[in-house]
Structures are given as structure tokens and as C-alpha cells.
Amino acid sequence: MSDKKMLKGGEFLIRETLAQDVFVPEEFGEEPRMMQQSCRDFTDTQVLPQIDQLETHDRELLTKMMKESGELGLLGISVPEEYDGFGQNFVTSILTVEEMGKGFSFAVAYSAHTGIGTLPILYYGTEEQKQKYVTKLATGEFIGAYCLTEADAGSDANAGKTKATLSEDGTYYSLTGVKIWTTNGGVADVYIVFAKIADDKNLSAFIVERTWEGITVGAEEEKMGIKGSTTVQMYFDNAKVPVENLLGDRNKGFKIALNILNLGRIKLGGAAIGASKAIIDNAINYANERKQFKTLISNFGAIKYKIAEMGIRTFSLESLVYRASQNIDDAKESFMADGIDIGKATVDGIYQYAIEASIAKVYGSEVLDYVADEGVQIYGGMGYSSETLVEKAYRDARINRIFEGTNEINRMVIVGELLKRAMKGELDLLTPAKAVAKELMGIPDFGDVTTDYYESKKKLTVNFKKAILMVAGAALQKFMATFKDEQEILMGIADMIMITYAAESMLLRVEKLEGMNHENVPYFKDMLEVYMYDAASKINKYGIDVVNSFAEGDEQQGMLMGMKRFTKSLPVNVKDARRRIANKMIEENKYCF
């Protein structure tokens, strides 16, 4: 990639990013905002008023709503115009996913269709396959689904046993097997199905139509939440799939699955932003109406704390998701400038930021879980009633920590992908890790204290990164080839990385917004102050736990001293800062940042 300002995936850990080089959602222009408004109108007028009916497993209603969203163009936001889409960039598609994320279980059906149901064909299909299927998926004529998971192949997706046997005349494959947890399965017209041809080591992918013989759609799964999305088992009994419906190359289906999961992960982060904002709005509305002890509960400090913290975490999530989404767009443009076609350029751009995509997925799903939980708590007893939207939001949120690869798997991916890229020479983690180790041996430098607001925050962020490099480098040296099996340590390091990425993304966003003279900068700074103060303590705790898990003696003491040095932050009056943030939202009666 030729642009020197553009950091490669994972490189944020070892290189400085400038505020001018990140994208913030406040920069969206008129056209993306119009598309966002279309999604908002559809969610407000078509989805939310019918959500209870949708949750009775009303497949007819779900089909109708999907078709209507297709007629409005909402299913083809990121599909090129030549396939009847709007041809918008990736970051705009995230904006629309955010807005649709407020639509509870319909958001799941929408995301599955526009993501894993459509994009494998768009990115890996032949021109004939794109013309035949993508055009219909973009307009809602077809509904798409994705059949990957099997009873014995969940996180280990490549262990799937579904078989594809080539006919003697070489004209079709016979597909036999059972797929589970197929989102949209009950209403889909087209399925992306993964199976192994003969004795192949890896999966291949196929485009399968519902009307073909040998295909049976199972009954609806009864789920904890997202009840309005259809989830079924799919049975394939010698289903005949024409050879021209092999998607991509034979034996390369697992790679397709992984790349599409990367895309789904960052989009899940986008949907979590929208869902979190909607819950905050509902919780504030309720707090501004509910009286206890002769006053509105929004006047209580304990409620203000919750509202502020929900807002801070959502703002941090939004900052990192849009930063990474624009990175993907920039990488895609760079690859295309080098002569790569748009499909491969997009896939390569998404893979380039696979680490950030996993961060967005894990961080986003856990922010949403926190927000949903506190939303119920603000409602009190009413929050436990199925009459309220927060009860539905609470149940619906839980699946996101399992979707698109569990959060545990994704934590492994964050660290594993960093190390893999370092081993391949794509990221130089060794040089900065050695520099940190050398710094620990020297005398601490306390003489370069800066009074500049952003420089002091950047120094703290740099120190967070040093803490990560210190413990990761030492742990790798200790365990070497078996490091990948030390899952507790890997997850601790992953948490340090996620918090640091969120803190830096937030810092760069606030700095950029001050340069744009944004009216809410004082509140943004309050959020940044609280977040970084808390981040220092959290990184310190994760770091200490990691160090104590493998180090002893002088090495242990040296790293514990280093952890204390790298996470030292100035005091912050978090009570007053949170109250200012909460009071602003309470006054506006909504999430207003």
C-alpha cells in the first residue's frame, strides 16, 4: 500500500496515528446521512411497530419486511451499481448498519442478508453468478442465508462433515449433510453452503437455491432472544448443485468463510453502536418520567453514573469502529490503485484489518451487553417486564458475544494475528518490544512532563502500548511454540490491546473534533478523561495478572514496576465529569453525542 500515512492492520500498536488521519462519524456528508435517514425511517415506521408480531415466528411478515427494505434500496447499499445496488463505500455501509441495529431481531435478518448472504457471491463469484444472484439479493427479490455451522463444527468450522460428490458426467455435485443455526434459513431463497468435495482437507463453497430437490428446511429454533429472526437446521439429501454454482475455487471455501467472518465482525460492532444508542434513549426517557421519593430518578447520582457510563462506552465503540471502517476503505482504494479488481481489493482490505475487526466485534458486543444490562437496571422492576423494549434488548444482546466467532476465539485472533504478521515480517513488533525491555533496565525519565492536553494523553496511550509490548514479548519468549496454548494469558493481552485501541481512537476523535470546533468538545473531553483514567487501572490489572502468570523473581519484579510506570495517570474527578455528561443527555432526553 503506497500511502505512507496509512497504517497497516495491527500497526497502531507500534506507530503513531495522527488525528487528521482518522475518520470520525461527524464528517459524514449529505448522501450518507440521507441513507442513514432512510434506514431510520424504515426502522421507526416498519420494524418497531411490528416487532412483537415478528417475534411470533411470522415468516410471512419477515419476508414482507425484507422485500420492502429491498424495494427501498436498503439491501444494496454497498453493492455496486452494475448489480442494482447503490455502490457506497464500506464506511457508509457501517452507518446504515448502525441505524438498522436499532431494529432488534430484524437487524439480525438484515445483517445476515446484506453481509454473509450476499457478499460471498459479490466478492468471490463469477460474473455470471453475480448477475444471476447479487442483482436479486440487492433488490430483495431473493433473500440470502449462510450455512456453515454443524453440530460438531462450531468454532472449528473447517471440521464440517457435509459432503459434495461430483457426478460421473461432471455436471453437478450431490450435497449431503446437516447445517445448524442458519439465520434467515426459514425465509431464504439462496444459501451459501460449505461442504468438502471428496476427501478434500478444506471446505468448498456452493450457491444453493431453496427450490432444488433434496433440500429440507427445519423447524424454527426456540431461542433466548432475536426471536423475530428465523433460525433453522438445513438438511441436504443428495441435493443436486450445478457445477457452475461452485463459489470460488475448490478447497478454498474455508478462506471465504474466514474473510466473510472478518467483515461480519466489524459490521456487528456497527450494529452494536445503534442498538446501544437506542437503549440509552429509552433509559433516559424512562428516567425523565419515573418518580421515586418525590423526584425524577434522573436526578439521582447513581442513575447519572449509569447514563454517563453507557454514553462513554458507546462513544468509545463508535470511535474505533468508524476509524477501522475508513481504514478498510483506504486499503481497498490503495489495492485498486495497484490494479487489483474491486472484489479482491475489498476482501484484501478487510483482511488487512482483521485484528481491528475482531476488536470491534468483541468490544462492541460487550459494550452492548453492559448498556442493555444497565438499561434494564434503570427501568427497575419494569425492565424485567416483556412489555418494555429494554427487556427485549437485554435478551437480544446476548447472542452477539457468540455470533461471528465467540469472543474467546476473537480474543485469540487479535493476539494470534499480530504474532503471525510479526513472524511473516509484515509487522516489526520485535524492535519496539526490545526498546521497552531496554527502557525497563534504565532510570525512569520523569523530566519530560507536558502541560499540553493532547500530548499528555498521547504519552499515556504510548505507555499503554509499552505495557502490552512488555508483557507480550516476555510471555512469547517464555513459552515460544506453546504460547498459543496459554489462553488465559492471550485473553489478558487481548483485553489490554482492545482498551488501548479504544482509548487511542477516542483520543484522536476528540482532538479532531476540537479542531473542527465541535460544540460538544467539553463533554467529549470529560468522556475521554474518565475513559483513560479507567483504562489505566484496567490495563494495570490485566498486565499484572499476565505477569504473575508466568514470571518469577527479578523478572517479575521488574515487569511489575514497569506496569506501574506505564499505567500511571493523573487523578480525575470522575464523579463531576460523569455528572456533566449525564446532565447533558438528561437535558436533551437522548444520547446526544
164 with 174: CB under 8 angstroms?
yes
For residues 379 and 386, is the Cβ–Cβ distance under 8 A?
Answer: no
Question: What CATH number does residue 395 fall under?
Answer: 1.20.140.10
pLDDT on residue 208: 98
- Specify whether 356 is located in the same domain as 272: yes
Q: Do 214 and 239 form a contact (C-beta atoms < 8 A)?
A: yes
Domain assignment present for 17: no
Burial of residue 481, with CB atoms counted within 10 A of its CB: 0-12 exposed, 13-18 middle, 19 or more buried? exposed
pLDDT value of residue 444: 66
Q: C-alpha cell of 548?
A: 504473575
Q: Report which of 177, 156, 151 is spatially closest to residue 165, judged by C-alpha positions.
A: 177
pLDDT given for residue 1 in this prediction: 42
What are φ and ψ of residue 549, in 5° steps? -85, -15
| The domain boundary residue, chosen from 220, 253, 286 | 253
Burial track 392-420 (b if 16+ CB lie within 10 A, e otherwise): bbbbbbbbbbebbbbbbbbbbbbbbbbbe
Total structural domains in the chain?
4
- Identify whether the C-beta of residue 412 lies closer than 8 Å to the C-beta of residue 492: no
Q: Are residues 100 and 185 in the same domain?
A: no
Residues near 44 by Cβ (< 8 Å), separated by ≥ 6? none
Print the domain residue range for 371.
261-409
Same domain for 330 and 375, yes or no, is yes
Same domain, 131 and 156: no
Residues 46 and 95 in one domain: yes
**Is 282 found in the same domain as 163?**
no
Residues in the chain: 593
Same domain, 49 and 138: yes
Establish if 78 belongs to a structural domain: yes
Residue 5 domain-assigned (yes or no): no
State whether 312 and 213 are in the same domain: no
**Which residues are tagged catalytic?**
404
Per-residue pLDDT, 521? 97
Return the SS3 of 545. helix
Residues 248 and 272 grouped into a single domain:
no
Does 59 share its domain with 170? no
pLDDT tens for the chain, 593 residues long, are 444 467 899 999 999 999 999 999 999 999 999 999 999 999 999 999 999 999 999 999 999 999 999 999 999 999 999 999 999 999 999 999 999 999 999 999 999 999 999 999 999 999 999 999 999 999 999 999 999 999 988 778 788 899 999 999 999 999 999 999 999 999 999 999 999 999 999 999 999 999 999 999 999 999 999 999 999 999 999 999 999 999 999 999 999 998 888 889 999 999 999 999 999 999 999 999 999 999 999 999 999 999 999 999 999 999 999 999 999 999 999 999 999 988 889 999 999 999 999 999 999 999 999 999 999 999 999 999 999 999 999 999 999 999 999 999 999 999 999 999 999 999 999 899 989 988 888 776 655 566 789 999 999 999 999 999 999 999 999 999 999 999 999 999 999 999 999 999 999 999 999 999 999 999 999 999 999 999 999 999 999 999 999 999 999 999 999 999 999 999 999 999 999 999 999 999 999 99
Domain boundary among 144, 159, 185: 144
**Residue 509 CB contacts under 8 Å (≥ 6 apart), including other chains:** 19, 22, 24, 319, 323, 524
What is residue 222's three-state secondary structure?
coil
Q: Indicate whether 84 belongs to any domain.
A: yes
Residue 420 lies in a domain: no
Identify any residues that bridge with 231 across adjacent strands, giving them in sequence order.
Answer: 183
CB contact at 8 A, 490 and 412? yes
Tell me which of 409, 443, 478 is where a domain ends. 409
CA 406-412-418 angle, to 5 degrees, is 135
Task: Quote the cell numbers at residue 479.
Answer: 513459552
Q: Which residues contact 563 (CB under 8 A, 6 or more apart)?
A: 467, 470, 471, 540, 543, 544, 547
C-alpha span between 533 and 545 (Å, rounded):
19
Confirm whether 11 is domain-assigned: no
Q: Which residues contact 298 (CB under 8 A, 6 or more apart)?
A: 284, 287, 288, 304, 307, 586
Is residue 169 in a domain?
yes
Same domain, 285 and 155: no
Phi, psi of 360 (to 5 degrees): -60, -40
Q: Does any domain span residue 8?
A: no
Q: Are 89 and 118 in a shared domain? A: yes
Cell readout for 38 is 432512510
- In this structure, are residues 248 and 202 in contact, taking their beta carbons and an 8 Å threshold? no
- Does the pTM surpass 0.85? The reply is yes
CA 524/CA 311 separation, integer angstroms: 10
CATH number for 248: 2.40.110.10
Q: Say what the pLDDT of residue 376 is.
A: 98
Q: Hey, is 564 helix, strand or coil?
A: helix
CATH number reported for the structural domain that contains residue 80 in this entry: 1.10.540.10
